[in-house]
């Protein structure tokens, strides 16, 4: 199983390193053909306006939407979250309106350009997630179908999931945090082989002879 990392601009190298650390092969995605053999895709942090333009120019928008529509997981961090949002409150054009959220870019203002915070993410266990926020967006509205995964202490939403789409306003990959990548790898494996547990037994023969 291979997971793509969009590599048009921004902090993609750290995602490749994190995938390697959990034993998953990462593919730097620059061309539509790079997407042919991936089971999921990570959209890294960086500058979302620049990324949007390069995604359009390099013909990546439709193939990435097709990948998401196939049910493969997409995981956006920071600028990647902005690219996945239905609404960008600053009036920027949307790129992949796959998450029913409204985001505000650079939501923490000039005084607080960057900061770090420990977050409770119930689905990732008891140990807090250490998040690095760099000119981060915040989620100002989350639709009914959206699971809120993490909030700051003041209640603002900074991590969400809607079906196969996961996004964080912060960078887990800059803090040595691997659990989001493990989650995405698990979702990608389930997408590749939905037999186990989902009720859709695409490979019934594999279960023959299994001890119970």
Is residue 181 flagged as an active site residue?
A: no
Query: Which position among 78, 162, 177, 181 bears the catalytic label?
Result: 78
Q: Which two tokens stand for residue 31?
A: 């061309």
Q: How far is CA 56 from CA 4, 49, 105, 161, 172, in A?
A: 18, 11, 20, 25, 27
- The active-site residue out of 14, 15, 162, 171 is 171
Residues in the site for ligand GLN, rule: CB under 6 A? 45-48, 78-79, 82, 105-106, 134-135
Axis crossing angle, helix 48-57 with helix 61-69, rounded to the nearest 10: 100
**In 3D, which of 28, 85, 15, 100 has the Cα closest to residue 52?**
85
Q: In the bound complex, what is the minimum distance in angstroms from residue 178's beta carbon to ligand GLN? A: 19
Q: Is 196 a catalytic residue?
A: no
Which one, 105 or 161, has the nearer CB to ligand GLN? Answer: 105
C-beta of 2 vs 86, nearer to ligand GLN? 86
* Closer by beta carbon to ligand GLN, 47 or else 190: 47
The token duo for 51 is 């990324």
Residue carrying the six token digits 């995964």: 149
Which string of DSSP letters, residue by residue, matches 113-154?
SEEEEEE--GGG-SSPEEEEEES--EEEEE-TTPEEEEE-TT
Could you tell me what percentage of the chain is helix, strand and coil, using 3-state DSSP and rounding each to the nearest 5?
A: 30, 30, 40
Determine the Cα–Cα distance for residues 67 and 190; give it in Å rounded to an integer. Answer: 15
- Of these residues, 14, 162, 173, 177, which one is catalytic? 173
Residue among 39 and 76 whose Cβ is closer to ligand GLN: 76
Separation CA 68–CA 83 (nearest Å):
13
* Nearer Cβ to ligand GLN (82/85): 82
Instruction: Note if 78 is an active site residue.
Output: yes
List, by residue number, the catalytic residues. 78, 171, 173
């Amino acid at each position: 199983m291979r997971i793509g990392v969009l590599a048009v601009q921004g902090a993609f190298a750290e995602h490749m390193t994190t995938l390697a650390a959990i034993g998953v092969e990462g593919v730097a995605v620059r061309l539509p053909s790079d997407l042919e053999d991936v089971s999921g895709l990570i959209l890294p942090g960086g500058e979302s306006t620049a990324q949007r333009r390069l995604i359009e120019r390099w013909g990546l928008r439709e193939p990435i939407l097709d990948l998401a529509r196939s049910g493969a997981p997409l995981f956006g961090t920071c600028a990647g979250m902005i690219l996945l949002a239905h609404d960008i409150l600053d009036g920027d054009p949307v790129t992949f309106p796959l998450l029913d959220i409204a985001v505000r870019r650079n939501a923490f203002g000039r005084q607080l350009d960057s900061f770090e915070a420990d977050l409770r993410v119930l689905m990732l266990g008891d140990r807090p997630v250490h998040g690095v926020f760099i000119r981060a967006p915040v989620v100002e509205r989350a639709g009914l179908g959206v699971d809120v995964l993490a909030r700051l202490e003041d209640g603002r939403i900074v991590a969400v999931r809607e079906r196969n789409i996961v996004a964080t306003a912060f960078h887990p990959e800059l803090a040595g945090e691997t659990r989001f990548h493990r989650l995405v790898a698990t979702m990608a494996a389930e997408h590749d082989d939905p037999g186990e547990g989902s009720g859709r037994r695409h490979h019934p023969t594999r279960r023959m002879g299994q001890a119970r």
